[in-house]
């Protein structure tokens, strides 16, 4: 074959395979959300893409595309909003602590509440006429909307809008008058850019513009780059967003619109930055214009295809680590909205469950990457200037749940933004601990903004929750447990853990029975002021326990360790109450009728490890009694937590029942404190949209298949009957092990355990437990009797 024949043959093969690829992709790649109509509702229908920094939602409108976008650091409130902002701190508030405690000891709960409400609350200032529900505490902000009008006329057909989560790209395609129109969207982390590609078989005209609810200061179009600079009204936060346009059509800019004429293709490269920095006390100073210039310079000369390949390689490196097969999958040809409704009627749909699981992993990768802000209540997706709960960092369940799936689903790296962020809380958190409680250490309470608001919230009791830092520190320890990264333990984790422990060492006081209790305390959002909320005790226990282990591993701080040991063992232990329940408070006052969404006193069961079915069976039984009383309803995240609880209680069928409940469609319902579920875009509805439930749901699925919190690696500890045959590859267990499991007829068939670092571990399946030792980079293959096959 001469060169040109060879080339022709090669091109033919490439074009045939790419055709085939397109056709077969629909059949082979089942990890897709797809719909036959554009989205009309942002929260329940639009589809999310993100590059860690920016979250965007596309609607897929035919005549007019809308891509709403938010950058994680864009906030109202904080120091820029004026002198009234003081990080919530009330100087010397601790001077009232002794009196609150005295009133509590005297049983004067109302008086104690009133005093705590007056003195132990943080300060938030709301200016007259402020449109924000959160005053100078602020709220995370949408940056704006990007619109692309497509100038075509006629009846569309063959419309498909999809999100391919295996390749991390969105697509829209349809036909009008036999012309094919298609769009591809992706959000690249390495390029820090959102990329939108429009194409048509026929030259097409487009009008492009940006809208923002913020002040537009400056709008320019130079060298194919449109940019506008904007400002958040109440705090002057500066930002800029730019889009670089690349097309075979002609481009004009007039009256704030980019007009593109006669384009067969249109590529747009969208970037954004703000002047926020993570530095207390100013939180300002990033040169956002230079940031954007650099980002655009970095992609200069890179084609759409090159950026797409770079993005997919980056994404796949993380995403492809875990494969899940839950059995026969026959329903990929059904649009996701219909599929969800049919599932809620009781149909089996292993494919939808796999999709839901992998979607959580997709969302984590899309919204939490080293260098970015951590996930917030809505991940990075927010279309409002006054979002629910400020779209902030909520520390009494939500922030933690957002990262529950990170380690076990083999995405350790996505945990890093949380740790970087925690480091920024230490300085303000120290001041808060000192001013409110006169203790050492650092704390953060219920609500937290990125401007160092670590104080209690501005009302008692909901805002009062000094347990936040302790709970966050569990994530540091878990990251170490899963990665065995000693340098991380030494340099990042342990210093924060130790300092958070100091708060509890100082704050806990001895009660009449000689136990250390947390007073005043409050079991998140349930009951009133207390002199011993169990969750505080369990968090303090967990934190001290992990800090002791860390100091032993690192061989440091003997004195601190010994003190922590004494304190840990004196903390009021989990207690069983009069109706067999696990007590939510030191006093046996649980209401068996309460269906409250928070189940905080079960922290010790999950995500803690103080209670387990093997080591503390009576307490596990009591946790079951409490859970049964609370029932199987709840907000999105509450349902997800219950999936995890029942998995830890080794009741796979009950966990699965709750999991199915979590996937109950909830239409476009706006808000509620019950009735959680899933929108047709598979985002979790509290309601409203909150990402924590997605992550908690995926973590719960992993808990059904693999657990490693109680000292051994447990295979299929809570396998539901519905998942009869299946396999999972690439889950992680504590100790740094990677685990593959295959099962058939509800029984283990084969397991593979591998590890880069190697080491000793015990493995259990049903009643059998065996010990093993892996060499570095070793792999052990075992049968259902846990007998090695290699
Ligand atoms: C806590 C929960 C609410 C909601 C909010 C963001 O306050 O009690 O249900 O999830 O966080």
Could you report the per-residue pLDDT of 139-173, keeping only the tens digit for each?
999 999 999 999 999 999 999 999 999 999 999 99
- Find out whether the beta carbon of 526 lies less than 6 Å from any atom of ligand 1: no
Q: Which whole number is the average pLDDT over 177-197?
A: 98
CA of 675 to the centre of ligand 1 (A): 14
Give the model's pLDDT for residue 128: 84
Give the model's pLDDT for residue 266: 98
- Is the pLDDT higher at 13 or at 623? 623
Q: What is the DSSP string of 693-727?
A: HHHHHHHHHHHHHEE-TTSSEEESTT--TT--SEE
CA of 39 to the centre of ligand 1 (A): 27
CA of 383 to the centre of ligand 1 (A): 19
How deeply is 559 buried, as exposed, middle or buried, from its count of CB atoms within 10 A (0-12, 13-18, 19+)?
exposed
Residue 486's Cβ-side half-sphere holds a number of Cα atoms within 13 Å equal to 7
Which H or E run contains 292?
Answer: helix 288-299
Atom of ligand 1 nearest to the CA of 462: 7
CA of 481 to the centre of ligand 1 (A): 29
SS3 content of the chain, % helix, strand, coil (to 5): 35, 25, 40
Report pLDDT digits (tens) over 112-139: 999 999 999 999 999 887 878 999 999 9
Give the model's pLDDT for residue 667: 85
- Find out whether the beta carbon of 638 lies less than 6 Å from any atom of ligand 1: no
- Answer whether residue 11 shows pLDDT above 70: no
- Find out whether the beta carbon of 465 lies less than 6 Å from any atom of ligand 1: no
Rounded to a whole number of angstroms, the distance between the first and last alpha carbons of the chain is 48
Report pLDDT digits (tens) over 405-433: 999 999 999 999 999 999 999 999 999 99
- Find out whether the beta carbon of 398 lies less than 6 Å from any atom of ligand 1: yes
- Find out whether the beta carbon of 420 lies less than 6 Å from any atom of ligand 1: no
Report pLDDT digits (tens) over 364-385: 999 999 999 999 999 999 999 9
25 pLDDT band (50/70/90 cuts)? very low
- Find out whether the beta carbon of 377 lies less than 6 Å from any atom of ligand 1: yes
* pLDDT more than 70, % of the chain: 96
- Find out whether the beta carbon of 596 lies less than 6 Å from any atom of ligand 1: no
- Find out whether the beta carbon of 292 lies less than 6 Å from any atom of ligand 1: no
CA of 449 to the centre of ligand 1 (A): 15
CA of 171 to the centre of ligand 1 (A): 33
CA of 388 to the centre of ligand 1 (A): 10
- The protein residue whose alpha carbon is closest to atom 3 in ligand 1 is 673
Q: Which of 379, 457, 525 to mutate to test the pocket of ligand 1 (most atoms within 8 A of CB)?
A: 525
- Answer whether residue 7 shows pLDDT above 50: no
DSSP 218: E
Cα dist from 489 to 316, 410, 471, 551, whole Å: 28, 18, 16, 10
Atom of ligand 1 nearest to the CA of 598: 8
CA of 550 to the centre of ligand 1 (A): 32
Atom of ligand 1 nearest to the CA of 638: 9
Mean pLDDT value across the chain:
95
Atom of ligand 1 nearest to the CA of 637: 10
- Answer whether residue 16 shows pLDDT above 50: no
Name the 3-class secondary structure at 417: helix
Report pLDDT digits (tens) over 295-337: 999 999 999 999 999 999 999 999 999 999 999 988 999 999 9
CA of 672 to the centre of ligand 1 (A): 11
Q: Which whole number is the average pLDDT over 387-404?
A: 98
CB 564 within 8 A of CB 501: yes
CA of 759 to the centre of ligand 1 (A): 41
Atom of ligand 1 nearest to the CA of 635: 9
- Find out whether the beta carbon of 686 lies less than 6 Å from any atom of ligand 1: yes
- Find out whether the beta carbon of 171 lies less than 6 Å from any atom of ligand 1: no
Is 0.75 surpassed by the pTM of this model? yes
- Find out whether the beta carbon of 139 lies less than 6 Å from any atom of ligand 1: no
CA of 608 to the centre of ligand 1 (A): 20
Q: What is the DSSP string of 127-168?
A: -TT-S-TTGGG--B---EEEEEEEE--S-EEEEEEEEETTTT
- Answer whether residue 107 shows pLDDT above 80: yes
Token pair recorded at residue 383: 């279309």
- Find out whether the beta carbon of 389 lies less than 6 Å from any atom of ligand 1: yes
- Find out whether the beta carbon of 523 lies less than 6 Å from any atom of ligand 1: no
Which H or E run contains 238?
Answer: strand 238-247
CA of 522 to the centre of ligand 1 (A): 15
- Find out whether the beta carbon of 394 lies less than 6 Å from any atom of ligand 1: yes
Atom of ligand 1 nearest to the CA of 686: 10
Report pLDDT digits (tens) over 567-589: 999 999 999 999 999 999 999 99
28 pLDDT band (50/70/90 cuts)? low
Atom of ligand 1 nearest to the CA of 389: 6
- Find out whether the beta carbon of 635 lies less than 6 Å from any atom of ligand 1: yes
Name the 3-class secondary structure at 779: strand
Bridge pairing between strands 32-35 and 156-164: antiparallel
């Amino acid at each position: 074959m001469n060169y040109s024949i060879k080339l022709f043959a090669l091109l033919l093969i490439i074009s045939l395979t790419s055709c085939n690829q397109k056709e077969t992709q629909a059949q082979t790649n089942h990890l897709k959300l797809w719909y036959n109509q554009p989205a009309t509702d942002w929260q329940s229908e639009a589809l999310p893409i993100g590059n860690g920094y920016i979250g965007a939602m596309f609607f897929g409108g035919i005549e007019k595309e809308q891509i709403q976008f938010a950058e994680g650091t864009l906030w109202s409130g904080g120091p820029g909003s004026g002198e009234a902002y003081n990080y919530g701190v009330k100087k010397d508030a601790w001077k009232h602590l002794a009196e609150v405690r005295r009133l509590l000891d005297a049983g004067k709960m109302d008086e104690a509440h009133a005093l705590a409400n007056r003195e132990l609350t943080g300060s938030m200032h709301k200016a007259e006429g402020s449109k924000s529900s959160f005053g100078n505490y602020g709220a995370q902000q949408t940056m704006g909307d990007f619109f692309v009008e497509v100038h075509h006329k006629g009846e569309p057909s063959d419309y498909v809008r999809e999100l391919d989560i295996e390749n991390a790209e969105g697509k829209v395609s349809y036909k009008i008058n036999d012309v094919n129109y298609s769009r591809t969207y992706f959000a690249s982390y390495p390029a820090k850019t959102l990329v939108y590609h429009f194409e048509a078989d026929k030259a097409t005209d487009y009008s492009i513009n940006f809208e923002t609810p913020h002040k537009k200061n400056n709008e320019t179009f130079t060298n194919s780059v449109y940019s506008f600079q904007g400002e958040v009204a109440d705090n002057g936060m500066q930002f800029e967003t730019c889009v670089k346009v690349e097309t075979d059509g002609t481009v004009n800019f007039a009256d704030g619109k980019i007009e593109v004429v006669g384009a067969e293709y249109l590529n747009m490269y969208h970037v954004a930055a703000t002047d926020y920095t993570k530095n207390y006390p100013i939180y300002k100073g990033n040169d956002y214009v230079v940031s954007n210039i650099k980002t655009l310079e970095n992609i200069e000369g890179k084609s759409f295809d090159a950026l797409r390949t770079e993005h997919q390689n980056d994404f796949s490196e993380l995403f492809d680590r875990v494969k899940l097969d839950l059995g026969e999958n026959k329903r990929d040809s059904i649009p996701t909205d219909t599929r969800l409704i049919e599932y809620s009627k009781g149909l089996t749909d292993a494919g939808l469950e796999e999709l839901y699981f992998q979607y959580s992993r997709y969302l984590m990768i899309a919204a939490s990457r080293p260098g970015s802000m951590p996930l917030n209540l809505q991940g990075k997706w927010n279309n409002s200037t006054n979002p629910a709960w400020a779209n902030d960092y909520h520390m009494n369940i939500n922030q933690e749940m957002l990262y529950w799936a990170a380690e076990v689903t083999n995405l350790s790296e996505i945990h890093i933004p949380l740790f970087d962020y925690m480091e920024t809380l230490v300085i303000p958190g120290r001041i808060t601990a000192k001013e409110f409680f006169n203790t050492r250490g650092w704390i953060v309470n219920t609500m937290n903004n990125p401007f160092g608001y670590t104080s209690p919230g501005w009302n008692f009791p909901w805002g009062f929750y000094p347990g936040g830092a302790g709970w966050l520190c569990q994530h540091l320890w878990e990251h170490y447990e899963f990665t065995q990264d000693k340098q991380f333990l030494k340099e990042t984790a342990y210093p924060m853990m130790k300092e958070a422990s100091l708060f509890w060492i100082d704050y806990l006081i001895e009660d009449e029975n000689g136990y250390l209790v947390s007073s005043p305390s409050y079991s998140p959002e349930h009951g009133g002021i207390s002199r011993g909320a169990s969750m505080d005790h369990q968090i303090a226990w967990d934190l001290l326990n992990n800090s002791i282990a860390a100091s032993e591993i690192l061989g440091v701080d003997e004195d601190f360790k010994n003190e922590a040991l004494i304190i840990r063992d004196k903390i009021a232990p989990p207690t069983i109450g009069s109706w067999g329940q696990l007590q939510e408070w030191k006093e046996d006052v649980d209401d068996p009728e309460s269906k409250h969404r928070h189940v905080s006193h079960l922290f010790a069961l999950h995500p803690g490890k103080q209670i387990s079915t093997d080591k503390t069976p009576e307490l596990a039984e009591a946790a079951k009694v409490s859970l049964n009383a609370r029932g199987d309803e709840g907000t999105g995240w509450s349902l997800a937590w219950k999936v995890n609880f029942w998995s830890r209680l080794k009741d796979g069928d009950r966990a699965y029942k709750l999991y199915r409940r979590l996937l109950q469609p909830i239409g476009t319902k706006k808000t509620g404190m019950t009735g959680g579920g899933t929108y047709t875009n598979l985002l979790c509805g509290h309601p409203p949209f909150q990402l924590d439930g997605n992550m908690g749901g995926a973590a719960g699925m992993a808990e059904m298949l693999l657990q490693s919190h109680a000292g051994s690696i447990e295979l299929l500890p809570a396998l539901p009957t519905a998942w009869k045959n299946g396999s999972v590859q690439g889950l992680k267990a504590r100790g740094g092990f990677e685990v593959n499991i295959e099962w058939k007829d509800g029984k283990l068939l084969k397991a593979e355990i591998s590890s880069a670092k190697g080491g000793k571990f015990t493995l259990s399946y049903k009643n059998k437990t065996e010990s093993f030792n892996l060499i570095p980079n070793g792999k052990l293959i075992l049968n259902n009797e846990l007998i090695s096959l290699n």
